[in-house]
Chain A
Amino acid sequence: MPTYYDPEDLNLFTSIGKDAPELARKFFDYYGAVFAEGALSAREKALIALAVAHTVQCPYCIDAYTRACLEQGSDLEEMTEALHVAGAIRGGATLVHGVQMRKIAEKLSL
Chain B
Amino acid sequence: MGDPQPTDLEHFACALRRRGLSLNRGPCRALQINVGLLCDLACRHCHLEAGPGRTEVMSAATMAEVVAFARRGCFELVDITGGAPELVPGIANFLAQLSEVAPKLMLRSNLTALGGPQAEPLLQTCVSRRVALVVSFPALREAQVQSQRGAGVWEKSLAMLRRLNALGYGREGSDLELHLAVNPGGAFLPADQTATEKRYRRELLARWGIVFTRLFTLTNMPLGRFRRWLEQSGNDAAYLRALAQAFNAATLPGLMCREQLSVSWDGHVFDCDFHLAAGISLGETRTHVRDLPEPPAPGTPIAAADHCYACTAGAGFT
Enumerate chain A interface residues (CB-CB to B < 8 A): 41-43, 67, 70-73, 75-77
Contact = CB atoms under 8 A, between A and B. Distances in A.
Contacts, number: 35
Interface size on B, as a range, is 10 to 19
Contacts of A43: 191, 195, 199
A75 B188 contact: no
Interface of B: 139-141, 143-144, 182, 184-186, 188-192, 195-196, 199
B184 A41 contact: no
Nearest to A66: B188
B140 A71 contact: no
Contacts of B191: 43, 71-73
Contact of B140 (A70, A72, A75, A76): A75
A41 B198 CA distance: 12
A86 to B, nearest CB: 21
B195 A71 contact: no
29 contacts: A41-B195, A42-B192, A42-B195, A43-B191, A43-B195, A43-B199, A67-B188, A70-B184, A70-B185, A70-B186, A70-B188, A71-B184, A71-B188, A71-B190, A71-B191, A72-B191, A72-B195, A73-B182, A73-B190, A73-B191, A73-B192, A73-B199, A75-B139, A75-B141, A75-B144, A76-B143, A76-B144, A77-B141, A77-B143
Contacts of A42: 192, 195
The 5 closest A-B pairs by CB, nearest first: A73-B191, A70-B188, A71-B189, A71-B188, A75-B141
